[in-house]
Structure 1
Amino acid sequence: MSAPFGRSVRAEWIKLRSLRSTWYTVAGLFVVGLGITALSMNAAAREYATEPGWDPTGRSLTSYIVAQLVIGVLGILVVTSEFATGLMRTSLLATPRRHRLLAAKVVVAAAVAVVAGQVLMFAAFFTGQAVLSAQEVPHAAIGDPGVLPAVTGGGLYLAAIALLAVGLGTLVRATAGALAILVGIVFLVPALAGLFPAWLQGIFFYWPTLGAAAIFKTVPDPTFPHPWLNLAGLCVGVAVVLAAAFAVFRRRDV
């Protein structure tokens, strides 16, 4: 049983790495992420004296705001690229068990997103702290309290967003549609959070860019005091979306 699944995973990895869009997206993730880090840290260096609760680590990781969309595109393309080209029918002929095919895609997407997310977060942290150090602004070291959990937690956050994108891509089957929903989830809904009724406010404790994003900070946020619990809640939500994607993928015609 494990050997066929292993072959499915290898096949999905070959397909993903053979797409030029994959490498363009990964390159864009690092160029945009580190570019935003350098620019934002230059601005932060001028503001730290008047900013209460100075958090150099959290500041250096703010590139996640854009990075989550870029890595989300990668997660979406894992599925929608095959729907767009018609290759999904060929994939299903090679792997008739649909749950196995989608599981292989999830495994590959998770592996790529974890590696890319962690590398980006560590690179953003060291880049940001180097900028602060050059300007003689208080900065952090990787061994300082709370820094390593924030950096590694940030990589896990990005991986969760990538898997959310895989689920959305499976449900919608179109890159533009899935991306529009992802933008709504990470930007639009949080921006309109204050308009939601009180009985729905609790959901924002786990929402991307709100509660779950507290994982990027080393200075405690009184609104979201349990960042790892918030991140776990986000992962539960992603698991629900993936479960729905598996259910729909198994029953729907291509």
Structure 2
Amino acid sequence: MSATAVLRSEWIKIWSVRSVAGPLVAVLVSALAIALVTFPNIGREQAATEELDPLFWLYYPLNFVQIAAIAFGATAASSEYLNGALRNSLAAVPRRGLFYGAKALVVGALALAVGVVSGFVMFFTANAFLGEYAIGIGEPGALRSCFGAGLYLALIALFSMGLAFLLRSAVAVLSLLVPFILIVSFVVVGFSEGVAAWLPDRAGQQILYQEHTGPLGPWTGIGVTALWAGAALLAGWWAVRRRDV
């Protein structure tokens, strides 16, 4: 099969399996829904405290949106292990590098596209309720953060995809990453902010800040997350190439 045909087949797989397409749609839906629930109620109150970076506060829904991105990447990979699907995929595409690369490209591209739209949705929805605390799209870091949210979500999706190929289970990946991001990451901050800054979620989210005080800037931070994602994808590729039949 040609590369174009393999890419098309991976596209069809994602949109034809509801358990895979659902989390991708949930990225956008949750971004809007959580913003509409949060900012009309406590948006101005939290912005007035000045305890949070004013730009980063606009992306509060990302705490939950990233779970949908993790689920998307994990289910896109784990669906290959249901009912012998991987055997059929490799029979159709014997070149495992082409198969794996096409899946990573489609997953990453879709997560990036939906993530960027979600970034703009979070930004403008939040600002609609902040009044005098609103941040214009032309202010420093604002436009970067909208696109950066999409880039971050794409990398998180690829990170979970690589782990899902390694572990052969979306449930295992969700059980590992969701507590890690929602709990362990905050615990590590309590012990050492220097170490926490290099975790995949903390590092990547630096692109959402207007002012940076840690060791990583917006692009170095997203670069660290890209390294985490790359390592996970390499581990997943090893599993597909050496272990899976």
- With normalisation by structure 2, the TM-score equals 0.91
Query: 8 Å contact 2:160–2:232 — kept in the other structure?
Result: no
Overall identity of the aligned pairs, in %: 30
Deviation track 1:39-67 (CA, whole Å, cap 9, x = no partner) reads 22220212333325661x32221211111
- Work out the CA distance in 2 between the residues paired with 1:25 and 1:211: 23
The corresponding residue for 1:69 is 67
In structure 1, runs of 5+ residues without a counterpart are none
* 1:34-73 to 2 correspondences below 5 Å: 34-42=32-40, 43-52=42-51, 55=54, 57-73=55-71
Contact 1:41 1:59 in 2 (8 A): no
Q: Are the counterparts in 2 of residues 185 and 208 from structure 1 also a CA contact under 8 Å?
A: no
- 1:178 lines up with 2:173 in the alignment: yes
TM-aligned CA deviation for residue 206 of structure 1: 2.7
- Change beyond 3 A, Cα 1:122–1:11: same
Matched, 1:100 2:131: no
The 1:223/1:125 distance shift into structure 2, 3 A limit, reads same
Name the count of aligned residue pairs.
Answer: 244
Distance 2:240 2:195 in 1: 27
Q: CA deviation at 1:194?
A: 5.0
Which residue number corresponds to residue 119 of structure 1? 117
The alpha-carbon deviation at position 252 of structure 1 amounts to 0.5
* Residue in structure 2 matched with residue 31 of structure 1 by the alignment: 29
From 226, 240, 244, the counterpart of 1:249: 240
TM-score (normalised: structure 1):
0.88
Q: Does 1:214 pair with 2:197?
A: no
Letter in 2 for 1:183: V
Q: CA deviation at 1:186?
A: 1.9
1:21 CA drift (Å): 2.4
Q: What SS class does the counterpart of residue 109 from structure 1 fall into?
A: helix
Distance across 2 between alignment mates of 1:154 and 1:87: 32
SS in 2 for 1:29: helix
> 2:82 aligns to what SS in structure 1?
helix
Structure 2 Cα separation of the partners of residues 18 and 170 of structure 1? 20
Offset of residue 183 of structure 1: 1.5
Q: Runs of at least 4 residues of structure 1 off by over 4 A? A: none
Question: 3-state DSSP class of the match of 2:153?
Answer: helix
Deviations 1:130-164 (A, max 9, x none): 122xxx33211111111011111111011000000
Q: 1:191 aligns with which of 186, 191, 208?
A: 186
Compute the RMSD of aligned alpha carbons: 2.0
Post-superposition Cα deviations, 1:75-97, rounded to whole Å, max 9, x if no partner, equal: 11111012023211100100112
Matched residues in 2 for 1:49 and 1:139: separation? 11
CA contact (8 A) 1:205 1:212 kept: no
**Residue identity opposite 1:21 in structure 2:** S
Q: In 2, distance between residues paired with 1:249 and 1:70?
A: 24
1:128-167 aligned within 5 A? 128-132=126-130, 136-167=131-162
Counterpart CA distance in 2 for 1:113 and 1:139 is 27
Secondary structure at the aligned position of 2:244 is classed as coil
Q: CA deviation at 1:202?
A: 4.8
8 Å contact kept, 2:27–2:115: no
Distance 1:103 1:211 in 2: 25
